[in-house]
Amino acid sequence: MSSATDATRRTSPRPGRDARDARVDRLTWGLAVANLLAQVGIIVTGGAVRLTGSGLGCSQWPLCEPGSFTPVFHEATSIHPYIEFGNRTLTGVLSVIAVALLWAVYRREPTASRPAVRRLAWWPLAGIALQAVVGGITVWVDLHPAVVGSHMLISLALVALSTYLLVRLRSADAPAVALAPPALRWWPLALAVLAAAVVSLGTVVTGAGPHSGDADEPSRLALDPYLVTRLHSGMVWLFVGVAVGGGVLLNRAGDRPELGPARRAWTWLLATVAAEGVIGYVQHFTGLPEVLVGLHMLGAALVVVATTSLCSAMYSREAVPAAVR
């Protein structure tokens, strides 16, 4: 009898985290994590293309060189075609992961019965297809900074969507209930809007700066780089102020266990923004060295992950106390 009881305990999910984990097929979860890591990774490799001046390493699209899908080695070949082609190859890896994730969501229980998760699972694949088109346009317009910036913003949007997909995989397929007290209901939307403004201005700063993506014929936005840097910095400080102010109110909301995930996500957001801010100021005062600019791009992706996680944690699709509703 005791052995039967033990078996029941091992197979029956406990309330809370175990109940959420029971909804997620392990393979589906692993593919969703791989999708997020790859979405962040392609921002890093795309940054390497730009920072090494390899943006036109492949002179054509979808071919790399006339008549060849891959770089062709000859005496005058530089490293630039291989860096650019490597980034294109990662797009193929991303596509494979996105297709596998879509298959897992539709075919493996228990996620296969959840319409919201099914709809979300299409977005990474659709975004990759859009990125392929924008990537081709980027080559055709000789790395116009506005198009290059849109390339980055689409990647950051895909990072946000991929993070949210992970959240939904571990939540019920029920209407969302706001966990915050009425005085703090504005906070998630404000954080999301300000984060979008921060990263958008960040792409403008990069477009006006020295790292155009092509070492021979740099193309930059006709803007004062110091002015747009100050605008970007001001927006960051506004974001920090709203994040800190809302977090103070969150921590004053009383001893409510359902707010635990939001408080932890808030701590991670502050740590991520602090690290990103240090990198940003150091790179500015040291002449924008390539390594620090690349780390700053990685930091932007991590800030998007942290912001999405915090905003998502401010809502629940589980059973919550009636006083919260």
For the chain, 325 residues long, the average pLDDT of each consecutive 10-residue run is 43 46 79 96 87 74 77 67 80 93 85 80 94 86 83 95 94 82 90 96 84 60 85 95 93 83 94 95 88 92 97 81 47
pLDDT digits (tens, 9 = 90+) for 182-229: 888 899 999 999 999 999 999 998 887 776 555 555 567 778 888 999
Facing residues of 178 across strands? Answer: 315
Q: Omega into 81 within 30° of 0, i.e. cis?
A: no
H or E element in which residue 315 lies? strand 315-316
d(CA 263, CA 269): 10
pLDDT given at position 110: 67
pLDDT digits (tens, 9 = 90+) for 98-109: 999 999 998 876
d(CA 199, CA 296): 11
d(CA 313, CA 43): 25
40 within 8 A of 294, measured Cβ to Cβ: no
Residue 179: how many other CB atoms lie within 10 Å: 22
* Residue 32, phi then psi, degrees to nearest 5: -65, -40
Question: Chain-wide mean pLDDT for the chain?
Answer: 83
> How large is the angle between the packed helices 80-107 and 26-51, nearest 10 degrees?
160
